[in-house]
Amino acid sequence: MVEERNERVTLDGYSLTLDEIHRVVMKGEKVAVKDEAWFRVRESHQTVQDIVEQNQVVYGITTGFGKLSDVYIHKHEVEALQTNLIRSHACGVGAPFDEKVSRTILLLRANALVKGYSGVRPEVISFLVQLLNEHIHPVIPQQGSLGASGDLAPLSHMALVVMGEGEVYKEGHIVSSQDIFQQKQITPLRLQAKEGLALINGTQVMTAVGVLNLLNAETVALQADLIASMTIEGLRGVIDAFDDRIHLARGYQEQRTVAKRLRHCLQHSQLVTRQGELRVQDAYSLRCIPQVHGATWQTLQYVRDKLEVEINAATDNPLVFAEADDVLSGGNFHGQPMALAMDFLAIAMAEMANISERRIERLVNPQLNDLPAFLSPEPGLQSGAMILQYCAASLVSENKTLAHPASVDSIPSSANQEDHVSMGTIGARHATQVIDNVRRVLAIELFCALQAVEYRGPERLAPVTSAFYTLGREQVKSLNQDRATAQDIEHLAAWLQDTFNPSEAPYELTLDPSQNKSVMN
């Protein structure tokens, strides 16, 4: 569950930001609709009403759906059409999304409808906003979407709740929406013309998962830079590789940014070495951190750019242009932009784990360092961190299968009327799994780095990594005797996910490193 705060995020369909989504979903801020947006919503709804009253033939309003779009629906049946649509399409399967995803879906769908292109009554939007503000979150199965025509199956489970059917989360438990509405004296809606279609014909599920993926990925990537810095100290890495002149010569800003973060983390370290002091240069997994992590940051920026468009997009069909009295059928529900972005995100984050696992190998392999074999307190009798590298390798290998692009697949549906689909929601779900795996690999690297610098002498760490070492040791104790480390790794991963903020002092790792207070030139 999210904490509840009294501040409000105001929706107008055009200016919702990722930061505002974070505040609503993670901080529990309430939601309102800007007054001027209601005029567009009412005008759009009036256009739909006129179509029904005038017996016009318009897709989704007075016709069936998909391949059944040539079946005319009489005006006395349009409400039944919308109800039947939701019930028939609510066929999602598998484990449900968690409440944060469900809350994000509600927020994004409300914001899309506020744009005034969907033809729904203001009451529909107000109902979604009420669900958000009352913390009533629909139970939405994860599987069943093709990503065009939008996220039909999962969004239908959201729409069921609007109708007073389906299930919701209540204080961490799943209960029927009917029971909750009775307790809170909330009256569900009878959907009118086009309203069912407007609720489910969009990309809000893949986009909601995508937003949370990005926010998680950015934090994980910052943590990766900090954890890699401690590994560099544990291996007495050559700091010259992070000289700004090298990265300026290539020209990628994200690469320069990562190098700058590393210099910030390693400033005043007594464990890093200079070129030729112990070795001329390090292996790629150390020397090329700015190049590899920087490329992932480029991808994160690409994904952020696409999400900032999609969270304010009109993605249902048809769209109502009330000012011209037009209703036009198109394909904005197609999830291809999100599908490609999520596939790209999964690939880029998988590389974070790939290079992290190679650093883990360098920390534990006695042929690659001068540390005790496998960081063991008694090599031979005790195996130390030997099998932790196995676990990391397994997660990395699993990521390679999860990073296979979902968007390259398409299966025709609706009797070949919908003959190309995006699979964007599958890609978004896979990206979630990849990010979770990356976090666990980084937790293993952190575990090993803590042990390595303990052998080197924690008092020789840089101020930033020294503070991180102290905090890390509060989470897991030293490996001075073989023990089951599964709980250690899960605890570190959960700490990285839920508690540790690399943007706070003294780490101060921000998306914009120019804000760092102390960075070596």
> Is 505 within 8 Å of 467 (Cβ atoms)?
no
483 CB burial (10 A radius; 0-12, 13-18, 19+):
exposed
- Domains parsed from the chain with CATH numbers: 8-202 (1.10.275.10), 210-318+346-411+422-515 (1.20.200.10)
Q: Which single residue is written with the structure tokens 């997994």?
A: 285
Distance of alpha carbon 392 from alpha carbon 293, whole angstroms: 18
Q: What distance lies between CA 88 and its chain's CA centroid?
A: 29
Residue type at 400 in one-letter notation: K
Is residue 231 a contact partner of residue 449, using CB atoms and an 8 Å limit?
yes
Prediction pTM value: 0.94
In 227-294 the beta strands, taken as DSSP E runs, fall at none
Active centre residues (catalytic): 59
- Is residue 311 packed enough to be buried (19+ CB in 10 Å), middle (13-18) or exposed (0-12)? buried
What would the two tokens of residue 29 be?
């801020």
Longest C-alpha distance within the chain, in Å?
86
pLDDT tens-digit profile, the chain (521 residues): 555 566 799 999 999 999 999 999 999 999 999 999 999 999 999 999 999 999 999 998 999 887 788 888 888 899 999 999 999 999 999 999 999 999 999 999 999 999 999 999 999 999 999 999 999 999 999 999 999 988 999 999 999 999 999 999 988 899 999 999 999 999 999 999 999 999 999 999 999 999 999 999 999 999 999 999 999 999 999 999 999 999 999 999 999 999 999 999 999 999 999 999 999 999 999 999 999 999 999 999 999 999 999 999 999 999 999 999 999 999 999 999 999 999 999 999 999 999 999 999 999 999 999 999 999 999 999 999 999 999 999 999 999 999 999 999 988 888 777 788 899 999 999 999 999 999 999 999 999 999 999 999 999 999 999 999 999 999 999 999 999 999 999 999 999 999 998 988 788 887 765 544 433 33
**What does the alpha-carbon distance between residue 185 and residue 290 come to, in Å, rounded to a whole number?**
56
CB 34 within 8 A of CB 16: no
